Chains A and B, each alone.
Chain A
């Protein structure tokens, strides 16, 4: 069945470091791919999305490119800030079904 595999955490980075969180997927059809972020004590918020192969989603300095050939949707940011500390979820949506990865906790230290 459809699924998402996400890089395990936790990840700790210094402020201004480069961030990569790996995400790969398995899907039988043509899914849309998403990154959601969860700040402490809150629900999830959409960070970015891509709906077809080679699309790049971007928001708040974060980027991810939908790569069909490697079935990947890795999240990157060039320079992280303390305020980026959160849990990041890769997700796959197809039809009316939605699948989340297990989440990667990111802590950014000053």
Chain B
């Protein structure tokens, strides 16, 4: 099992550009989520999905879109990048709701917006 994979590992964008961060898991987990990690702020939940076709907002959803067409994939889209979106992004998956089940994290994508 590869677990949770993320691509790319590093990305530099100019303000206003768009891009998609990819996330895939091969554990047949229903729950997937995206976090951003900023110094002194810990990790904050951006969006999550409880299954294919179902997504919802987390704590900091503005500026990001998600969709979940398959169980395996959960891409995160930045439609118009801003310097405030410079961060490290982590994707995670779990068997069920995060209130009870362990989350498995990907290795992260380091994004810089200039």
Instruction: List the interface of chain A (C-beta within 8 A of B).
Output: 4, 6, 31-32, 42-46, 49, 51, 89, 93-103
User: Is A100 touching B43 in the complex (CB atoms < 8 A)?
Assistant: yes
CB within 8 Å of A: which of B71-101?
90, 92, 97-100
A32-B102 CB under 8 A given contacts A44-B90, A97-B58, A99-B59: no
User: Is B102 touching A46 in the complex (CB atoms < 8 A)?
Assistant: yes
User: Is B56 touching A98 in the complex (CB atoms < 8 A)?
Assistant: no
- Report the Cα distance A89→B92, complex, angstroms: 15
Instruction: List the interface of chain B (C-beta within 8 A of A).
Output: 4, 31, 33, 35, 40-45, 48, 50, 56, 58-59, 90, 92, 97-100, 102-103, 105-108
User: Is A96 touching B97 in the complex (CB atoms < 8 A)?
Assistant: yes
User: Is A93 touching B105 in the complex (CB atoms < 8 A)?
Assistant: no
A32-B106 CB under 8 A given contacts A97-B58, A100-B44, A102-B40: no
